[in-house]
Amino acid sequence: MSDEVGSAAETEADSEPVDESPTLYERWRQIHDNESTVAALTILGVALAPFVLVTLPTQLGLPSEYSWYHNLLTLTLIWGIFALGYDLLLGFTGLLSFGHAIFWGTSAYAAGIFSANVTGSPLAMILVGTLTAVLMAWIIGWISLRRGGIYFAILTLAFGQMIYYIFLSPLGDITGGENGFTGVQVGSLFGVVDLGRAVPFVPEAFVDSWMYVFVGAAMILSVVVGYRILNSPYGAVLRAIRENEQRAEFVGLNVWRYKLMAFILSGAFAGLAGSLYVIQRSFVPIENTLNWTVSGDIVVITVLGGVGSLFGPVFGAGLYMYVANIVSGMPVIGEFWHMILGIVFIAVVATMPHGIWGRVDWLRDRVADAIGGDER
């Protein structure tokens, strides 16, 4: 009798429906690294940044001299694109370049000179500037990558200084020398959209001009392309080279060719950023484009944000731009902004070895694990 009861109970238990639908935690784990999710988060960040960083602090009573402003936010996105491309080289391939100002600067000059002599179409300027940077990256990478380690870094620095002095003096009649190139003529986008005008039907609290929309679209495209590269078999090869170059060679990979292509891709991102920089400023200052300090700045920005992360360099650019443009103008401490930046850099490296985004990743994983543990 007991056997029959037990059998009936087992049959009833087996017939009960089992809820196999994924939990919230499992659904998030499935989508949080998808390309569409990354693109959506980037769009959301670009759309909300003006309100969160510019409008909201003012509404809360923060003095205007201590808060962000729209042009600085646009400039931060441009530097974020530059840093994202640099991280493809440093964070994912393991190559430390001290000459990336070459691609940022030559693209800016190419775009500016092209606008003055051919057309001021922003898209044409970007195309010319980016192609110039790609060509320079191919030539310099082909030579420099024949050496590794510190020798590669010194070679890129030497090339950077050589290009800087060529643009400063021998080509001064074309580039404007130490005064920079002042003849930039930026036209309308598609011949009808003035980048300096406000966007109709959109509150200024979110978007102040078409320039921000234009640069924001470039940022979104850069993140998507960077994500696609890093999550492709090509990106896996770059990581393998970073981890152990000799083992990558032993399995038959042409390491030099992959490193050269990573160098060119990084130069392309720098070329896009440099072209956007001259479009925004309508001027090409040689000290802020080709000077060796620009190459040092991009290294600092990338390390601050988090080497080897997709979004980290953008956060690093934001922190650097705030210190360089807002803190530098503060009373009493403004003139010590370089020292403040150094202190911030040391603090980040000492307390957050993986940069700002590394800490964000850590917190995100802790929260996700806590939610997952509760649901399980």
Encoded tokens for 151: 């020798």
What is the tens place of the pLDDT at every residue in 339-369? 999 999 999 988 888 888 888 877 877 776 6
> Tokens in use for 95?
């190559």
For residue 110, what pLDDT band results from cuts at 50, 70 and 90? very high
Residue 324 amino acid letter? A
Q: What is the pLDDT of residue 368?
A: 67
Q: How many residues does the chain have?
A: 376
Retrieve residue 194's tokens.
């003035």
Cβ–Cβ < 8 Å for 262, 93: yes
CA distances from 355 to 71, 123, 252, 294 (A): 26, 34, 34, 20
Where b means 16+ CB within 10 Å and e means fewer, 24-46 reads ebeeeeeeeeeeeebeeebbebb
Q: For 289, phi and psi rounded to 5 degrees? A: -125, -45
Residue 167 and residue 264: Cα distance in Å, rounded?
22
Tokens of 213: 């929309």
pLDDT at 33 over 90: no
Q: Return the axis-axis angle of helices 233-243 and 70-93, rounded to nearest 10°.
A: 70
Q: What's the pLDDT tens digit per position in 40-74?
A: 899 999 999 999 998 888 888 888 778 888 899 99
Residues facing 189 on adjacent strands: 193
By C-alpha distance, which of 56, 32, 141, 110 is closest to 360? Answer: 32
Give yes or no for residue 25 having a pLDDT over 90: no
Q: 74 or 38: which carries more pLDDT confidence?
A: 74
Backbone angles phi, psi at 284, to 5 degrees: -120, 95
Report the pLDDT value the prediction gives residue 295, as an integer from 0 to 100: 93
Q: Is 174 exposed, middle or buried (0-12, 13-18, 19+ CB in 10 A)?
A: exposed
Query: How does the average pLDDT of the chain come out, rounded?
Result: 87
Average pLDDT over residues 244-260: 88
Q: Per-residue DSSP letters for 93-154? A: H----S-THHHHHHHHHHHHHHHHHT---HHHHHHHHHHHHHHHHHHHHHHHTTS-HHHHHH
C-alpha count within 13 angstroms, C-beta hemisphere, residue 157? 12
Contacting residues for 15 by C-beta, under 8 A, at least 6 apart? none
Q: Is the pLDDT of residue 163 over 90?
A: yes
Closest CA to 264 of 125, 115, 144: 144
User: Domain extents for the chain?
Assistant: 36-291
Is the backbone of residue 355 left (phi > 0), alpha (psi -120 to 50) or beta? left
- pLDDT-derived band of residue 13, with 50, 70 and 90 as boundaries? very low
Whole-Å CA distances, 255 to 30, 139, 224, 237, 348: 33, 17, 25, 9, 32
For 141-155, what is the mean pLDDT? Answer: 90
